[in-house]
Structure 1
Amino acid sequence: MNNTENFSNRWGIILASLGMAIGAGNLWRFPRLAGQYGGAFIILWIVFLFVWSIPLLLTEFSMGKNFRKGVIGSFAEMAGKRYAWMGFFVTLCTLGIAFYYSVVTAWSLRYLSFAVGNLFDETPLLDRLTSDPGYMSDYWMSVSHASWATILTYIGCVVFGVFVLSRGIQNGLEKINKALIPSLFVLLIVITFISLQMEGGIQGLEYMFVINWDHFSDGKIWIEALSQSAWSTGAGWGLMITISSYSRTDDDITLNTLIGALGNNTASLIAGMAILPAVFALANSDAEAITYLQEGNQALTFTIIPELFAHVPGGGFLSVVFFLALSLAAFSSLLPMLELMSRNLLDLGLNRKVISLWVAFFFIVLGFPSAYSLDIFNNQDWVWGLGLIVSGIFILFGLVIFGIKEFKERYIDSGSKIQLPTTFFQVCIWSNLALGCVLIYWWMSQGYSSNPWFDADGVWNVLDVYSNASIVTQWGLVILIGVLINGFLYRKFALKK
């Protein structure tokens, strides 16, 4: 695709936004967090949608539409020469997520293959589960730990993604999303109906929305709600900058952003209503279900859905359809991540064929550790999932440097039929700057590793999966590189037309 290619119509970019946002984060990450914290998490998550995510998405959409460049170039255009390194951090943070996100896509495809195989297996899955209750957990371990089948699958996902993007916006990204997004919504509603009809399913729905007020004093739930809103909607990723750089000149920024953001949260809620009731329906008791959910099981979606479908007539076929939709949803979210890197390289003036080779190479090499080791996967999810808040702070800071009111009136409100109150927008920007800094400090002060900074021997604990040392080291390295090459970034990405 080239710099002048656009989506064919409004729904093209809306579906691209939904495809970017609706993916494994909705069906894999949201139910896990909602299962841990219930209604308190959902309240904070909804608040952060309007206070954090939507203002950021409006800003990002406007940057891409008006500056017509990738993340680094658009950020430098907005914030100026001195802060091009911040756009570099946003880009590397999203790529850090993208490198391991391709593994989630591979997991989804492995489970699709598993579901298809069950259709032809002489021993029904339900019988296997009856004789071996840990069957699905064992299969999850075989998929997520040092599996060469998973590694080859994720390589195939990256290669195929690069191929799809080579077909262009309208014939590649837009066509896939037109088939994917409606089918995914329909399927989620079907699964929700099945879950609620099972004995014990209603208890799961009640658990999902019951509010435990003590949770609000836990700093972790605040940061989880904010990071999930950012993670799921794409706020702070720079992906909306990439997508909107191909928008049409008459696209309504505010309307498109609101439809995409609300559509994403709707998909997350439906996914939670599908999966959490299934946990209660399949557990031996409510206490067992709650214990399982509050463990924050990484494999929640992958283990519960096959068991759910094994208990209903025609479940084998429905399981195939579900994991097909999940695979496509994850893949549709991977595509903008691939394009984010491609677009930045395109701004350097590189040939599209050369770009495709570089993108495939970097994704395959840098995603390999997460595909091989679940510990590395969890570390990258920990570091860069939280890093999205830093990315959001940088974008907010760049907006302040430009001028909040001036940017909104010139780039967001121009051509938008719906306009958010300027005062509300300004308050959100300033509040988010303070909120982001406070939450990151709060998070670091909690110490979610037994040795958050130094190990028992006094050595910098950078190799601990959940240590603060690991977070700060990786963030610091990216920031240091960005600052050192700041002048180069500005010349190559902002000045180049």
Structure 2
Amino acid sequence: MSELQRPKESFGTRIGVILAVTGSAVGLGNFLRFPGLAAEYGGAFMVPYVVAFLLLGLPIAISEWGLGRRGGRFGFNSTPGVFHAITNRSRTGAYFGVLGPLIPVMIYMYYVFVEAWCLGYAWQYLTGGMTEVKTADQSESFFHVFTGIAGDGTLFDDPMKNATIFLAICFALNFYLIYRGLSKGIELFCKIAMPTLIVCAILVLIRVLTLPVDPAAPDQTVINGLGYMFNPYTEGRGFWESLNPRHNSEMWLAAAGQIFFSLSVGFGIIITYASYLKKDDDIALSSVTAAAGNGFCEVCLGGLIVIPAAFVMLGPSVVQNPPGTFGLGFVTLPQVFDAMPLGRWIGFIFFFLLFLAAATSSISMLQPAIAFLEESLGVGRRASMAILGFITVCGAWFVMYFSAGAKGVDTIDFWIGTVGIYTLATIQVIMFGWVLGIRKGKEEIDRGAEIPIPFFVLVIVKFISPLYLLAVFGFWAYTNFYANYVDPEKTENTALYALMHDRTAQFSVGLILLMIVFLVLVISEAVRRWDRLEASQKGAEL
């Protein structure tokens, strides 16, 4: 298998690579989803979280870096292209990579919308627009109107008073950065945004950890809030009973899912970023550093900010019964900031850091599709941006219109953000462990490595990670597709019931299927193009 001409794009510095990958991972999941899960399950959640990180997150992330750089050596930057190279230019291998561009593009369609919420809330706090939002009812009402959750099409009634204008700003910023390219766009922005994000988070963390104790509620202290997060004990259960999958299986599923979101594993993003590295660039230390940086932002910043703040200001009852990811971030936390000294400015800093986190993740979701279109169709940056811009604008419009109860967001997130990610992660570990092989994989990772990756880590990738993935996903699928469906009390909460009875869910799945058909057609054309390029290169060498 000969090497095609390497793409001209590449990262300018090593720290730029690490910050770009860390930025793709550090997002709303770190500051909203993780605290919500830690609050829901208590300190016991940290045990399956660490187990999933060691057996799934870190090994798979390392394998993705290896797959990406190896594919990049042959001129491929997208998941279909990398899989095509790994499988010795197999047509089937390329089709197995269809989820690589599909997942980030579909997630971007609603993620950019949530990014706009964060920017909008930051602006409201900065300009004093949140001063009248004090009670739970007021906070919920503002959130429903601002985000369009109150009803389908309501965002188009008065775009200047909701998230619509901020969505336009986010779209313009994201595509401008992508247009500037890898080094001058994504890398430069992450070099600025990631340190700024961490400084903002530390400022908010200092304010939270120094919150005074209310004499009327002496048990609502920062220390007790931290204890709730880290003490491996679930109310009414002992330590081992709390961790027993028979009694708390959903916690283990949630922990594995959080690791995927947290590290951007199974998104196809790391493969694309790693493909731009040079042959002897370090990927061992870089992959571990990016994972560690994400973990710091998630546990030491996100968790330590949200849970103690809610515990001190609103009490343990709110922490123990969190209102979901969006409810926690956009309904509960505004009440916390209203009751907190300097709350207006802390609220601005917090939602601004959420915006930065969402922005670094959003632009990373666009790059895999840009790379895929460029190498598949042989088009330039402008043409690929025009195609992707049209697709994502249509998708974001869909999410904006079908906004009642966030049903469109929930459906796409379920089928793509859960089913799709688990599936792609499983395919990736099989590609690395069984198709490429762990010995060739270790050679790839060791080349230029500044730290040794123990061989047993790659054994985990080949044997333990696939079994862990299949077991977790199998139990999750049983629960969601069968157990809940046959239970009359839970049937209406399942994705299958929604797919058969809800119009928005049906349209959402239809949009996903339409994207799959489009990408499969592009891959079909891409394989023919790659074969022609390979044949012409061999002819030139004779």
TM-score (norm 1): 0.88
Matches within 5 A, 1:339-354: 339-348=367-376, 349-354=378-383
Residue 362 of structure 1 is matched in structure 2 by 391
Alpha-carbon contact 2:411-2:509 (below 8 Å) kept: no
* 1:378 equivalenced with 2:410 (yes/no): yes
Q: Which residue, out of 217, 226, 230, partners 2:256?
A: 226
* Equivalent residue, structure 2, for 1:156: 169
SS in 2 for 1:462: helix
Partners of 1:277 and 1:103 in 2: how far apart? 28
Residue 106 of structure 2: which of 86, 96, 99 is its match?
A: 96
Find the counterpart in structure 1 of residue 217 from structure 2: none
Partner of 1:187: 200
**Relative to structure 1, is the Cα distance of residues 4 and 417 closer, same or farther in structure 2, using a 3 angstrom cutoff?**
same
Cα gap change, 1:489 to 1:35, in 2 (>3 Å): farther
Inter-CA distance 367–216: structure 2 relative to 1 (3 Å threshold): farther
Task: Give the deviation of 1:485 after TM superposition.
Answer: 7.7
* Separation of aligned partners in 2, 1:493 and 1:195: 55
Shift of 1:480: 7.9
Deviation string, structure 1 residues 264-285 (Cα, Å, up to 9, x no partner):
01101121110011111122x4
> Alpha-carbon deviations, 1:130-182, whole Å to 9, x = none?
xx442212111112224243244324322321111111222211221122111
The one-letter amino acid of 2:294's match is N
Matched residue, 1:402: 435
* Deviation (angstroms), 1:400: 3.3
Say if 1:297 and 1:253 are closer, same or farther in 2 by CA, change over 3 A: closer
CA change 1:494–1:440 in 2 (3 A) is farther
1:337 CA drift (Å): 0.7
Residue number among 208, 232, 235 corresponding to 2:265 in the alignment: 235
Distance 2:262 2:113 in 1: 17
* Of 183-192 and 30-39, the range deviating more from structure 2: 183-192
> How many Å apart are 1:257 and its aligned residue?
0.3
Alignment correspondent of 1:33? 37
| Structure 1 residue runs without a partner (length 5+) | none
Post-superposition offset of 1:263: 0.6
Instruction: Give the whole-Å Cα distance in 1 for the aligned partners of 2:531 and 2:59.
Output: 24
Instruction: State the number of aligned residues.
Output: 484
* Shift in Å, 1:495: 6.7
Look up the SS of the partner of 1:247 in the other structure.
coil
Q: Which amino acid aligns with 1:135?
A: Q
CA distance in 2, matches of 1:191, 1:428: 38
In 2, Cα distance between the equivalents of 1:290 and 1:281? 13
The answer for the alignment partner of 1:177 in structure 2 is 190
Tell me which of 101, 108, 116 is aligned to 2:118.
Answer: 108
What is the aligned-residue RMSD (CA, Å)? 3.1
**1:462 matched residue in structure 2:** 499
- Could you list the structure 1 runs, at least 4 aligned residues long, displaced by more than 6 angstroms after superposition: 452-456, 467-486
1:72 aligns with 2:72: no
Correspondence list, 1:64-463, <5 A: 64-68=68-72, 69-80=77-88, 81=90, 82-118=92-128, 125=131, 128-129=133-134, 132-144=135-147, 145=149, 146-148=154-156, 149-198=162-211, 199=213, 200=220, 201-211=222-232, 212=234, 213-214=241-242, 216-217=244-245, 218-269=248-299, 270-283=301-314, 285-291=315-321, 293=322, 295-348=323-376, 349-372=378-401, 373=403, 374-386=406-418, 387-447=420-480, 451=485, 462-463=499-500
Alpha-carbon distance in 1 for matches of 2:320, 2:424 = 34
Q: For residue 188 of structure 1, what is the amino acid of its counterpart?
A: A
Deviates more, 1:365-374 or 1:445-454: 445-454
Displacement, 1:331? Answer: 0.7
Deviation at 1:407, TM superposition (A): 2.8
Give the residue type in structure 2 aligned to 1:35.
A
Q: Report the secondary structure of 2:127's partner residue.
A: helix
* Cα deviation digits, residues 414-434 of structure 1 (max 9, x gap): 111212221331133311112
Show CA shifts across 1:431-468 (max 9, x none): 11122122222112113795479989xx9752568x99
Letter of the aligned partner of 2:138 in structure 1? Y
In structure 2, stretches of 5+ residues that fail to align are 1-5, 157-161, 214-219, 235-240, 535-542
Partner Cα distance (1:452, 1:113) in 2: 46
Question: Which residue matches 2:540?
Answer: none
Question: Conserved in 1, the CA contact under 8 Å of 2:45 and 2:255?
Answer: yes
Change beyond 3 A, Cα 1:34–1:89: same
Instruction: Answer yes or no: is the 8 Å Cα contact 1:40–1:215 preserved in 2.
Output: yes
Query: Which structure has the greater CA radius of gyration?
Result: 2
Q: Decide which moves more: 344-353 or 91-100.
A: 91-100
Q: Distance in 2 between matches of 1:104 and 1:196?
A: 27
The verdict on how the C-alpha distance between 1:403 and 1:172 changes in structure 2, with shifts beyond 3 A counting, is: closer
Cα contact 1:165–1:339 (8 A) shared by 2: yes
Q: Give the alignment's TM-score, normalised by structure 2.
A: 0.81
Over 3 Å counting, the alpha-carbon distance change for 1:153 and 1:451 in structure 2 is: farther
SS in 2 for 1:419: coil
Is the Cα–Cα contact under 8 Å of residues 85 and 483 in structure 1 kept in the other structure?
Answer: yes
Does the 8 A contact of 1:77 with 1:494 survive in 2? no
Which range moves more in the overlay, 72-81 or 10-19?
72-81
**Residue in 2 aligned with 1:42?**
46
Q: Percent identity?
A: 24
